Amino acid sequence: MSNQRLFCIAAHFVDAANISDILPLGKGLINDTYKIMVKGETQPRYVLQHINNKVFTDVEMLQHNIEIVTNHIRKKYEERGVHDISRRVLHFLKADTGKTYVKEGEEYWRVMDFIADSYTYDAVTPAYAYDAGRSFGDFEALLADLTEPIGEIIPDFHNIEFRLRQLDEAIATDAVGRMKDPEVQGFVKRIKEHAEDMCLGERLYREGKLPKRICHCDTKVNNMLFDKDGNVLCIIDLDTVMPSFVFSDFGDFLRSAANTGAEDDPDLDHIHFNKEIYDAFLKGYLEGTQSFLLPIERELLPYAAQLFPYMQAVRFFTDYINGDTYYKIQYPEHNLVRTRAQWKLFEESGK
Ligand code: GN1
Ligand code: MG
């Protein structure tokens, strides 16, 4: 993406004459993110993001959801007397179109304020995990009394039965001939062996025993900003906020934070499930959610910790069989390497 093009897009939101540079930021697998530097300042002032509209096909709904969520959280923080609200909840800028996004050709862009002196991590200590548990729990608690409806931005996003059906379709199509690999066949077999157990949540939902709540649905550890002292400042990446089981937020945090290796670690010996992180996160999460969490939700949190590495393995594996059409990859086998790593984590999380 040329810098000149980025400057032109940013000019819809901010005074381009003040911009000194626009540079890549973060490691999201879906959207492309940049930091906007302003003349005379060393920290970025804004974040520019290219919205992947192959994944988020209804950008109007996406931004509408995010505005409802951020406005609601802001209001609740005001009621609580929180003092630094602008650092605790994302704020999206209005473009010259009056909306919080612009469409350029077939591409969509948005800009939010950069939160200064904030840090992200791919790995955390138990103390940070406890704080993260409280914060993600509180995030759900804050949204528990939301009356405006939030659209299901990606239908069936964390529905494992749906993800397994997508895998079956990928296998039947075999778009790029990857099914002939014995390793691929082996993963199919192992995934199927656990399918029934992993679909427990969906069965309980159909039986009316398990509720859906407004969840974040992408609680990777690096979707949380910390201040310099290690306190949670702000939860970011609100694209997937939607009705889901609380398992989404509990499980996806541990999938990233309790993994002693990387999400795509090529060395499986690095990958273990850190029980200390689990215990600390659980403690914080139970505190953050005590106002609403049902016994059935609480009892199934260990299941959630297994479900998410499993579901992510299924999703990376499906994308591999489909020929890498969904996740950004850095090399041809990347989605297979990710599958191996998430599968190892799934096995470790069940020990
Ligand atoms: C994607 O956007 P990002 O990188 O935070 C994905 C998540 C996956 C994650 C795996 C919309 O998240 O569901 O868990 O990659 N987001 C979407 O790293 O599919
Ligand atoms: Mg995301």
Tens of pLDDT along 32-60?
A: 999 999 999 999 999 999 999 999 999 99
Does residue 348 have a pLDDT over 80?
Answer: yes
- Read off the pLDDT of each residue in 302-325 and give the average, rounded to a whole number: 98
Does residue 123 have a pLDDT over 90?
Answer: no
Average pLDDT, the chain: 97
In the reported structure, the alpha carbon of residue 217 is separated from the centroid of ligand 1 by a whole-number distance in angstroms of 9
Does residue 1 have a pLDDT over 80?
Answer: no
Closest ligand 1 atom to residue 28 Cα is 4
Instruction: For the chain, report the end-to-end CA distance as a whole number of angstroms.
Output: 45
What is the percent of the chain with per-residue pLDDT over 70, rounded to a whole number? 100
Question: In testing the pocket of ligand 1, which one of 218, 244, 247, 324 has its CB within 8 Å of the most ligand atoms?
Answer: 218
Contact status, residue 299 vs residue 200, Cβ threshold 8 Å:
no
Ligand 1 atom 13 nearest Cα: 218
CA distance 344 to 267: 10
pLDDT of the residue at 2: 83
Q: Looking at the chain, which runs of residues are DSSP E strands?
A: 19-24, 32-38, 46-51, 102-104, 107-113, 213-215, 224-226, 232-235, 242-244
CA distance 132 to 9: 34
Per-residue tokens: 189: 């077999």
Tens digits of residue pLDDT in 62-89: 999 999 999 999 999 999 999 999 999 9
The structure's pTM equals: 0.95
- Read off the pLDDT of each residue in 216-244 and give the average, rounded to a whole number: 95
Does residue 336 have a pLDDT over 80?
Answer: yes
In the reported structure, the alpha carbon of residue 79 is separated from the centroid of ligand 1 by a whole-number distance in angstroms of 32
Buried b (16+ CB within 10 A) or exposed e, 75-114: ebbeeeeeeebebbbbebbebeeebbbbeeeeebbbbbeb
Per-residue tokens: 56: 């988020």
Does residue 201 have a pLDDT over 90?
Answer: yes
Contact status, residue 280 vs residue 221, Cβ threshold 8 Å:
no
In the beta sheet, which residues pair with residue 113? Answer: 46
Tens digits of residue pLDDT in 134-154: 999 999 999 999 999 999 999
Q: Residue 206's Cα: distance from chain center in Å?
A: 25
pLDDT of the residue at 230: 87
pLDDT of the residue at 189: 98
pLDDT of the residue at 79: 97
Does residue 204 have a pLDDT over 80?
Answer: yes
CA distance 146 to 235: 17
Closest ligand 1 atom to residue 222 Cα is 5
In the reported structure, the alpha carbon of residue 220 is separated from the centroid of ligand 2 by a whole-number distance in angstroms of 8
Does residue 27 have a pLDDT over 90?
Answer: no
Contact status, residue 328 vs residue 29, Cβ threshold 8 Å:
yes
- Read off the pLDDT of each residue in 165-179 and give the average, rounded to a whole number: 98
* Three-class DSSP labels, 56-92: CCCHHHHHHHHHHHHHHHHHHHHHHCCCCHHHCCCCE
In the beta sheet, which residues pair with residue 225? Answer: 234
3 state SS of 21: strand
In the reported structure, the alpha carbon of residue 220 is separated from the centroid of ligand 1 by a whole-number distance in angstroms of 8
351, 241, 243: which is closest to 305 by C-alpha?
351
In the reported structure, the alpha carbon of residue 218 is separated from the centroid of ligand 2 by a whole-number distance in angstroms of 6
Closest ligand 1 atom to residue 308 Cα is 14
Task: Give the chain's domains with CATH numbers.
Answer: 3-113 (3.30.200.20), 126-349 (3.90.1200.10)
pLDDT of the residue at 176: 98
Pocket, ligand 1, Cβ cutoff 6 A:
28-30, 55, 218, 220, 223, 237, 240, 263, 312
